[in-house]
Amino acid sequence: MKSLSNKWTRAAIPALLLHSSIGTVYCWSLFSDSIKNVFLNAGIGTGALEWAFSLAIFFLGMSAAFLGDFVEKDIHKASLIATICFVVGIAGTGLAIRLHSVALVLIFYGVIMGFGLGLGYLSPVKTLMLWFSDNKGLATGLAVAGFGAAKMIFSPIITALLSSVGVEFSFYILALVFLVMMFTGHLLLKKPEGWVESHEKFDFKTFFKRFKIFFDTKFIGIWLVFYLNITCGLALISHEKQIYSYVGLGAVAGILATLTGLLNAGGRLGYSTIGDHMKNRNSVYKIILISEIAITVLALVTGAISENANVLLIIIAVALMFIVNAGYGGGFSNLPTLLSDVYGMGKISSIHGIALSAWAIAGLTGNQIAEIIVHNTGNYADILVFTAILYAIAIIVDFLLVKTPTTKESV
């Protein structure tokens, strides 16, 4: 009974507390219009503001890529630094809005918060995989389900805060909430008895040697599939509220954002659990990509994303967002378990962190390319042409390069 208690109180619950906080980065579309209005009313241009979300994702991925060894050595310290950086980033964004400084929004929301995102994302993952050694897919699903569920949980709260106290004070209140949640998660997070953390001295040569993994074709394949899936997801998720308004669902955009958050979390938990029962975990990626291609092509052919959409087309548009969110989440939860199947558990935090560099690059391309497309065409449906092509490339790469070996490879 003690073991079961430890499994949940020392791994699952702290993971959910940490990831449910940092996952609110995906609520950016709820904040962005309100932030823009504050700056526009002050006569300040807002063109650079969209980079806040991109920078947050970029620094998430890059901090994870370069600090994976640090997380390996001290998961507990990493979770504390993640808490401090994320909360300071959120509170600082509120201060930046008060000061009408676009640069400070980019620094606090993009850089500082993004740094906390990377450490906070990695910290619970290996801990859960160690506690749930027989169900690693379930473990990583639990870890990142909180990340996806954050949008579902906090979308109505953020919507209510924005309408009652305004965007600046919404950030202050959320910073206090996240401080309590993340610090509690940090205090609870603990490795299983008998697991000894690595305490080797830092060595630049050994550190950069880890990146030789980019010469391995299987890793390149996993990285590319992950990158392409995330790029497509970000292209649509970052414009989710606007797409709902475009097809005539602006009045219920908040409710739909909550539901897509549920699908995002459900995809993370569901797809990873399915992977535990598959001979080849990479089959899950094939299922995800095929479903995303099918709904994207259907939405394109029918013209589902249009200003004069009928009920059937609106249903297809909503289904598109649901399936893309589920597949987006599933791609995240299956990444560490697929990597552990290929390379073993020895340095999984480091390898997982390096793979998350794909998320960083996707953060600079997905929503930014989508923004360029909409700016030049004025049509959100044109984003689907871009995503359909990338999904097709991803499925080809997955079939050709991603193979799960029968024996673990060392790195």
* pLDDT, average across residues 323-327: 94
The pLDDT tens digits of the residues spanning 57-84 come to 899 988 988 887 788 778 889 999 999 9
The pLDDT tens digits of the residues spanning 176-190 come to 999 999 999 999 998
* Phi, psi torsion values for 265, nearest 5 degrees: -70, -40
Residue 4 has pLDDT above 60, yes or no: no
Residue 48's CB is within 10 A of a number of other CB atoms, namely 12
Q: Give domain status of residue 55, yes or no.
A: yes
The pLDDT tens digits of the residues spanning 196-238 come to 655 555 555 665 666 788 888 999 999 999 999 999 998 998 7
**Structural domain span for residue 9:** 2-185+208-401
- Of these ranges, 85-89, 261-265, 269-273, the one predicted with the greatest mean pLDDT is 85-89
Q: Give domain status of residue 338, yes or no.
A: yes
Domain total of the chain: 1
Task: Provide the pLDDT confidence category of residue 3 given band limits of 50, 70 and 90.
Answer: very low
As a whole number of angstroms, the longest Cα–Cα distance in the chain is 63
Top-confidence residue, 393 or 407: 393
What does the DSSP assignment read for 322-378?
HHHHHHHHHHHHHHHHHHHHHH-STTHHHHHHHHTHHHHHHHHHHHHHHHHHHHHH-
The pLDDT value recorded for residue 301 is 95
Q: Give domain status of residue 198, yes or no.
A: no
| Element holding 119 (H helix, E strand) | helix 113-131
The number of helix segments (H) and strand segments (E) in the chain equals 17, 0
Please give the Cα distance from 360 to 356 (Å, whole number).
7
- Find the range with the poorest average confidence among 112-126, 245-259, 300-314: 245-259
114: CATH? 1.20.1250.20
Q: Give domain status of residue 355, yes or no.
A: yes
Cβ–Cβ under 8 Å, residues 89 and 109: yes
Q: Give domain status of residue 199, yes or no.
A: no
Q: Give domain status of residue 411, yes or no.
A: no
Q: Give domain status of residue 406, yes or no.
A: no
The pLDDT value recorded for residue 94 is 97
* Angle, vertex CA 375, rays to CA 232 and CA 37, nearest 5: 100
Please give the Cα distance from 395 to 11 (Å, whole number).
34
Q: Give domain status of residue 28, yes or no.
A: yes
- Of these ranges, 149-153, 160-164, 244-248, the one predicted with the greatest mean pLDDT is 160-164
Cβ–Cβ under 8 Å, residues 284 and 226: no
- Find the range with the poorest average confidence among 146-155, 164-173, 328-337: 146-155
The pLDDT value recorded for residue 1 is 41
* pLDDT, average across residues 171-178: 98
Residue 375 has pLDDT above 80, yes or no: yes
Residue 4's CB is within 10 A of a number of other CB atoms, namely 8
Q: What percent of the chain has pLDDT over 70?
A: 91
The pLDDT value recorded for residue 76 is 85
